[in-house]
Amino acid sequence: MTKYIGRRIAASIPVLLLASVLVFLLVREFGADPARVRCQQSRDVHCRARARAALGLDDPLPEQYVTFMGDFLQGDWGQSQRTDRSVAESIRDDLWETSQLAFWGVLFSGGVALAVGVYSASRPYSRGDYLFTGLAFAGIAMPTFWFGLLTIQYLSFELQQLLGTTEPIFYSIPNPLGSGVVDYFRELALPILVLSVQLVAGWSRYQRSSMLEELNSDYIRTARAKGLTRRRVVWKHGLRNSMSALVTIVAIDVGALFGGLIITERIFSRAGMGTLLLSAVNNGDTQVILPWMLVVGAIIVAFNLVADVLYGVLDPRVRLS
Amino acid sequence: MRGRSTRFAVFTCAIVVALVGASVAAAAPSRVPQQAASGTIRIAAEEEPTCADWIASCAGSSWGNWALGNLTLPQALNVNADGEYVPGAILVDLPTLEPGPPMKVTYRIRPEAVWSDGEPITSKDFEYTWKQVVTSKDIYDTTGYIDIESIDTSDPTTAVVTFSKPVALWRDLFGGFYFLLPSHLLEGKSRSKAMKDGYAFSAGPWKLDGGKAGWKKGKTITLVPNGAFWGTKPSIGKAIFQFIPESSAELEAVKTGQVVAAYPLPIDGALDQLDESPSLTYTVSFGNQYDGFWINAKAFPLDSKSVRQAVAYATDRQVIVDQILRPAIRQGRVLQSFIVPTFRQFYVPAFEEYTPQPDRVDELMTGDGWKKGSDGIWAKGGKKASFEINSTAGNESRALTEQIWQSQLRESGFDLKIKNLNSDVLFGSRLPKGQYDVALYASVGTPDPGLCTIFCSNNIPSKKNKNVGNNTTWTNDPTIDRTWSAVDTTLEDAARVTDTQEGQAALAEYVASIPLYQAPEIFIYNHDRLGGNLQDNVVMGPFFTMNEWVLK
């Protein structure tokens, strides 16, 4: 197992390096010039030249890349080219913010998807199954931005009007004055709901098909023939054996969430990895984009590994080598 | 079976423990201690300041000044809501000017003006700030400061600044985007390290709560009253600027009472939403940023003044402005100069003669030797009156502006092609190299009326100015050169006003470009919770008088 993990990590390093070269070249070639962004309102015509020199943008591209990677590997992640803020601090803080959203979103979505998937599989082609299938397709098709605005309008503003409270039950922006678990979840409820819609929609379909396959297996029929109750067969045998597919897709999606919450974070005015990336791309801030990409890439690789390992844990027939 | 059950139970427990742990831990680091509700306000800030090292290029953002700089650090001169220079809180009165030569400006500092640590603000602070601007590496704007020869600091309460040549924009020095810096705290240290992420010192009504800790990156800026401030002290115990980048999210936040004030960019239907909220008051103002059609005067066919004038007469700017602004603010005001009306002492509506006049278009074009072809497009010497407009890709209102203009020009016999570009290609390459016909973008007006940097012929990018000149419209006209050069060097106010007004008329006659509209801003506040001196100031921002706000 250790060897397997080591090999997987080693194999991911050239992929990350290649990706970093491509991203660096693309952002430098086609992205915004950080010096221009810094000086766009300055009447001093020499501002841009000074900024380019200070940011090292006059050096040849390969030299800029090598300098960056050399520093990065030695633990010096440098400063943002837009804000001069420490990149390591930015990524640490924003990773923490995104982790919270991702953790609760995945926990909530995983639970709901599991329940919906099991229900649909154990009552296939029933009214309930059709209802959940329809909702799942609606969830997959629904634009996150639009749904986010709807939740703010109805669950924050309209609900407050209905109840006549001085502040909304569910906050549409973080509350810096909030304290305690209740305020914490009042702040996270809407982002989690928005994040969960597409996750639940996708994951419940995986769980349904996987569970359906298990429930139609010979060993399930044998268990039923031996007199086990339907509930026991579904929850004890069917569920356990059907979960490997869901766990795999969840682990893979979790990794992607660390870089993919741009819209959710923006609508709800939350700091996070998505917001950080958006700002960095808009400002041509390669000094942030490259470490961001390497960190998110490493997280994705790590969660893919977790998926593989969990697959083996859930299905002892699978041996990793 | 038993082993599997145990593993499953352990797995489940681990999830529960992780969940509870994460909940508690997650709540901890971002919390701010609860304050008395009556003493704390939350304000929506559409942008986060980029950095707080105000003289460095990293700090060039309006929101930095509005939400932090203007409230915590002193300036020699401020600009009031009427666009006039007034003495800042540190000065006894307006500085005195001796035209010279050499030109000298004397700033008299209030004896009671002190930094938050009790140290007096002195002429040394003027000297330190000047030296930092002219000797540091990555400075945002050295204009005017590089012409300072010396600063006499022999009297701590009087700073006498001597210039090596006349600098008409002297009122912008030690002000504008910049602030006075505390020499006794920063001398001999890295100014950038001490300031870029926030600072503990202050000489304004407010200071960062806990110094750098008062700025939680990506989230909030928290200000508390500066007890050492000698002017009107804030009556509100804590003001939290919360970063909300989406205008629609800002509106919802202020409607639901999560914030008590906001200053969003207008979005369609915003005023209708605000009218439905009886506790909200809003004012619409026109900022100092404005959009215009910037014309390349060396590109065919716009290299002819007659063609430029004909294009201006073919353009119905009121229709364009109505389409862009009315859905958001119910009014559309056409800008008639490259100086915004906020700075009323200089502004003249020089472009108001350019209203749609088909007869004038025909007269100007035929007079210049053009004839309409069978396709209805003007042509001369086998070449059509066809040109291209570029703007930044992805900007919906500018795309709409282009489409309306295209249709208006087509009716008058001009063929306009639309091609929008990446902003870096447009601003970084096309404009400086003159590789465009017309560009649609925004410029920023300043209280000082100087426009020579963008319209005088000596600022056309060339080898002489190392290709960094800002006259990217290739405007080249002796009257424009004379009037706007005089504006930059004339020290006498009345003569400067006359030169500015002549200069605006010359720009309109030459049609160096076509101004469109000022970007509107909406200042919204909850009048059930806030009272006092609440007013917008398009230069200093609407929070500049926050020390005079009261919580109800």
Report chain A (321 residues): mean pLDDT per 10 consecutive residues: 78 84 82 80 81 86 88 87 90 94 94 93 91 92 91 92 91 90 93 93 93 90 87 85 86 85 92 92 85 89 84 70 53
pLDDT level of residue B17 (50, 70, 90 thresholds): very low
pLDDT digits (tens, 9 = 90+) for B96-122: 999 989 999 999 999 999 999 999 999
pLDDT digits (tens, 9 = 90+) for B40-62: 999 999 999 999 999 998 887 88
Q: Is A2 on the interface with B (CB under 8 A)?
A: no
Q: Which is more confident, B300 or B137? A: B300
Nearest residue of A to residue B7, measured between CA atoms: A313
Query: In this structure, are residues B160 and B106 in contact, taking their beta carbons and an 8 Å threshold?
Result: yes
pLDDT level of residue B363 (50, 70, 90 thresholds): very high
pLDDT digits (tens, 9 = 90+) for B130-181: 999 999 988 888 989 999 999 999 999 999 999 999 999 999 999 988 999 9
Chain A hits for B552, CB-CB cut-off 8 Å, are none
Above 0.90 for ipTM, yes or no?
no
Two structure tokens written together for B102: 């050499």
Chain A hits for B137, CB-CB cut-off 8 Å, are 50, 53-54
pLDDT digits (tens, 9 = 90+) for B393-411: 888 889 999 999 999 999 9
pLDDT (0 to 100) of residue B202: 97
| Separation of first and last alpha carbons in chain A | 7
pLDDT level of residue B18 (50, 70, 90 thresholds): very low
CB–CB contact B245 A266 (8 Å): yes
pLDDT (0 to 100) of residue B191: 94
CA distance B100 to chain A (A): 25
pLDDT level of residue B216 (50, 70, 90 thresholds): very high
pLDDT at B548 over 90: yes
| Separation of first and last alpha carbons in chain B | 67
pLDDT at B552 over 90: no
Question: Kind of pairing, strands B238-243 and B206-208?
Answer: unpaired
Q: Is A224 on the interface with B (CB under 8 A)?
A: no
pLDDT at B285 over 60: yes
Mutate to test the interface with A, among B4, B20, B57, B61 (most CBs of A within 10 A): B57
CA distance A79 to chain B (A): 11
Using CB atoms, which residue from B26, B253, B256 is nearest to A100?
Answer: B26
CA distance B488 to chain A (A): 13
Percent of chain B at pLDDT exceeding 70 = 93
Nearest-angstrom CA–CA distance, B121 and B181:
9
Q: Is A167 on the interface with B (CB under 8 A)?
A: yes
CB–CB contact B218 A271 (8 Å): yes
Q: Which is more confident, B228 or A166? A: B228
Nearest residue of B to residue A56, measured between CA atoms: B138
**DSSP states of B476-513 as a string?**
--HHHHHHHHHHHH---HHHHHHHHHHHHHHHHHHT-E
pLDDT (0 to 100) of residue B6: 44
- Prior bond of B349 cis (ω within 30°): no
Mutate to test the interface with A, among B30, B195, B273 (most CBs of A within 10 A): B30
Chain A hits for B57, CB-CB cut-off 8 Å, are 35, 38-39, 42, 47, 50-51, 54
pLDDT level of residue B32 (50, 70, 90 thresholds): very low
Nearest-angstrom CA–CA distance, B93 and B229:
18
Backbone angles phi, psi at B110, to 5 degrees: -60, 135
pLDDT at B533 over 50: yes
Nearest-angstrom CA–CA distance, A150 and B149:
60
CA distance B34 to chain A (A): 6
Nearest residue of B to residue A313, measured between CA atoms: B7
pLDDT level of residue B8 (50, 70, 90 thresholds): very low
Nearest residue of A to residue B141, measured between CA atoms: A44
Chain A hits for B253, CB-CB cut-off 8 Å, are 172-173, 269
Cβ within 8 Å of B, A 257-296: 266-269, 271-272, 275-276, 284
CB–CB contact B256 A157 (8 Å): yes
- The DSSP H or E segment spanning A117 is helix A87-122
Which runs of consecutive H residues, i.e. helices, occur in B90-233? 123-135, 183-186, 191-195
Average pLDDT over residues B73-99: 93
CB–CB contact B217 A179 (8 Å): no
pLDDT (0 to 100) of residue B324: 93
CA distance A176 to chain B (A): 6
User: Which amino acid is it at B474?
Assistant: W
Q: Is B134 on the interface with A (CB under 8 A)?
A: no
- Angle in degrees, CA B201, B203, B205, rounded to 5: 110
pLDDT (0 to 100) of residue A268: 94
